Amino acid sequence: MDAGSFLSALTPLNIAFAFFGVVAGTVIGSIPGLTATMAVAVLVPITFSMEPASALILLGAIYTGAIYGGAYAAILLNTPGTPSAIATTFDGYPMAQRGEGDLAVALACFASVFGGLVGALALLFLAPPLSRVALAFGPVEYFWLAIFGLSLIASLSTGNLLKGLAGGAFGLILSTVGVAEISADIRLTFGSQTMIGGFGVVGALIGLYCIPVLIDLAATPDRHLSIETGVQSVRVGEAARVAMRSKFNLLRSSIIGTLVGILPGAGGSVAGLVAYSEARRSARPEQRFGEGEPDGIIATEAANNATVGGGFIPTLVLGIPGTPPDAVILGALLVQGVRTGPGLFQSGGGSIAYTFIYGLIIATLLMLPVGLLIGRYAYKSIVAIPKAMLVPSVGFMTLIGTFAIRNSVSDVIIMIGLGVFGWVVSRFGFAASPIVLGLILGPIAEQGFVQTWIIGSATENLPGMFFGRPISQAIVAFTLLSLMYPVFAARRRRRAGVDRGAGS
Partner 1 sequence: MSNKVENDTGGQLGSLIVSAVFVIVGVVTLYDSLSYSDIDSKVFPRAAAIVLIVCSMLSIVGSLLRPVREPGFGRGAWWRRILLVVSMLAACLAMPQLGFLPAGFIAFGGTLMASMHDRWTIQAAAVFLTSSILIMVGFYSLFRFVLNVPLP
Is the separation of the CB atoms in 61 and 76 below 8 Å?
Answer: no
CB closer to partner 1 out of 98 and 387: 387
CB of 324 to partner 1, least distance (A): 17
Question: Nearest-CA neighbor of 161 among 478, 431, 420, 423?
Answer: 431
CB of 103 to partner 1, least distance (A): 27
Question: Nearest-CA neighbor of 70 among 87, 58, 56?
Answer: 87
Question: Nearest-CA neighbor of 440 among 268, 277, 264, 211?
Answer: 268
Q: Is 5 helix (H, G, I), strand (E, B) or coil?
A: helix
Distance CA 159, CA 149 (A): 19
Neighbours of 228 (CB within 10 A): 8
CB closer to partner 1 out of 182 and 496: 182
Binding region for partner 1 (CB under 8 A): 34, 38, 42, 160, 162-163, 165-166, 168-170, 172-173, 176, 180, 182-183, 185, 187-188, 190, 211, 214-221, 386-393, 395-397, 399-400, 403-404, 407, 409, 412-413, 416, 420, 424-425, 427-430, 438, 442, 445-446, 449-450, 453-454
Is the separation of the CB atoms in 291 and 91 below 8 Å?
Answer: yes
CB closer to partner 1 out of 10 and 162: 162
CB closer to partner 1 out of 185 and 228: 185
CB of 92 to partner 1, least distance (A): 21
Please tell me the total number of residues recorded for the chain in this structure. Answer: 504
Is the separation of the CB atoms in 174 and 185 below 8 Å?
Answer: no
CB of 86 to partner 1, least distance (A): 20
CB of 466 to partner 1, least distance (A): 13
CB closer to partner 1 out of 208 and 357: 208
Query: Taking the alpha carbons of 127, 133, 138, 142 in that order, is the dihedral positive or negative?
Result: negative
Distance CA 57, CA 353 (A): 10
CB of 333 to partner 1, least distance (A): 22
CB of 209 to partner 1, least distance (A): 15
Is the separation of the CB atoms in 61 and 97 below 8 Å?
Answer: no
Phi, psi of 499 (to 5 degrees): -60, -40
CB of 391 to partner 1, least distance (A): 4
Is the separation of the CB atoms in 445 and 143 below 8 Å?
Answer: yes
CB closer to partner 1 out of 10 and 480: 480
CB of 157 to partner 1, least distance (A): 10
CB of 142 to partner 1, least distance (A): 14
To which H or E segment does residue 178 belong?
Answer: strand 178-179
CB closer to partner 1 out of 90 and 430: 430
* 179 bridge partner residues: 186
Distance CA 164, CA 432 (A): 9
CB closer to partner 1 out of 85 and 146: 146
CB closer to partner 1 out of 275 and 390: 390
Question: Nearest-CA neighbor of 81 among 91, 67, 102, 97?
Answer: 67
CB closer to partner 1 out of 161 and 335: 161
Question: Nearest-CA neighbor of 153 among 143, 163, 144, 145?
Answer: 163
Which DSSP symbol is given to 346?
S
Distance CA 352, CA 176 (A): 42
